[in-house]
Amino acid sequence: MLDTPASTLRFGRLLLTGAAGHLGQMLRPRLKAYCQTLRLSHRREFGPAAAGEEIMLAALEDKAQVQDLLVGVDAVVHMGGVSTEQPWEQILAGNIVGMVNLYESARCNGVKRIVFASSNHVTGFYRQDEVVSPLDPARPDGFYGLSKAFGEDLAQLYWNKHGVETVSLRIGSSYAEPKDRRMLATWMSFDDTERLVVAALTAPVVGHSIVYGMSDNPRTFWDNTPARHIGYRPLDSSETFRPAVEARQQSLDMTDPATLYQGGSFVRTGPL
């Protein structure tokens, strides 16, 4: 967790959706440093609120619940929704209908900044020998990646039409350490994840911007140059973990699509 002086407080009430998920749990104690009140949401019970927190349960596909969820909110960190490849019906409810509800509720409640957890799987069908920027066309690797591409397009629409700013974070692999050789390129430390979210919340002007979420890794699939105005500067690197990762995974199957494409195992999973 980063050291955060009190002078960096920027928000009265900040909403974190998906608060009981993998990244939601990690961000929960960290985001409290940037607001007076942290509103936490998930679709099911996940325990009591701590000091400076409030909990509101909401299913993203429930329009009325999401409308209530955004009342009095200054900004949103949207980590909610389906986070892996799943049957279409689940993704439709959480990542399509839920996104429309979130953005329409933001418009109605005057919320002007959303940090949206998009995904690298928006461009998962680029090969690992290509370098992709936020300006390149989407090539989703499944229903999940497709839903995140929809979310980015929705964010663009609400910026163009209603002035709701969004930074779409195409998150790579945010874990304590990289698990395999692909993650040597896609890994983002928890501290760098915090740096990215805070940069997205506090950059003065973002419109709708897309930035890849990765640490300062020597090997990478992504070029963040078009998103430098966000001010994200990663300080960690996967290089520390390279010897251990390569010792665990000494060879690669070059006939496996997961080895060839940036989306890894997502290119060969799911109902398609």
272 pLDDT higher than 60: no
pLDDT of residue 7: 45
Q: 151-159 long-range CB contacts below 8 Å, 24 or more apart?
A: 151/95, 151/99, 151/116, 151/118, 152/116, 152/118, 152/122, 152/208, 152/210, 154/99, 154/100, 154/103, 155/103, 155/114, 155/116, 155/208, 156/208, 158/103, 158/106, 158/107, 159/207, 159/208
Stated as kind and residue range, the H or E segment containing 119 is strand 113-119
List residues with catalytic annotation.
Answer: 144
Q: How is the beta sheet containing 165-171 ordered, strand by strand?
A: 53-55, 35-40, 11-17, 75-78, 113-119, 165-171, 208-213
Position 257: which residue type?
P
How many angstroms separate the CA atoms of 248 and 192, rounded?
Answer: 25
- Mean pLDDT throughout 242-259? 95
33 pLDDT higher than 70: yes
Checking phi first, is residue 41 left (phi over 0); if not, alpha (psi -120 to 50) or beta?
Answer: beta
Is the whole-model pTM more than 0.75?
A: yes
Q: What share of the chain is helix, strand, coil (3-state, %, to 5)?
A: 40, 20, 40
**Closest C-alpha to 176, from 191, 161, 186:** 191
6 pLDDT higher than 60: no
pLDDT tens, position by position, 55-100 = 999 999 999 999 999 999 999 999 999 999 999 999 999 999 999 9
pLDDT of residue 4: 55
Residue with tokens 């020597």: 218
Q: Which domains does the chain have, with CATH numbers?
A: 6-268 (3.40.50.720)
pLDDT tens, position by position, 133-146 = 999 999 999 999 99
42 pLDDT higher than 80: yes
pLDDT of residue 1: 76
Binning pLDDT at 50, 70 and 90, where does residue 172 land? very high
Q: Which residues contact 204 (CB under 8 A, 6 or more apart)?
A: none
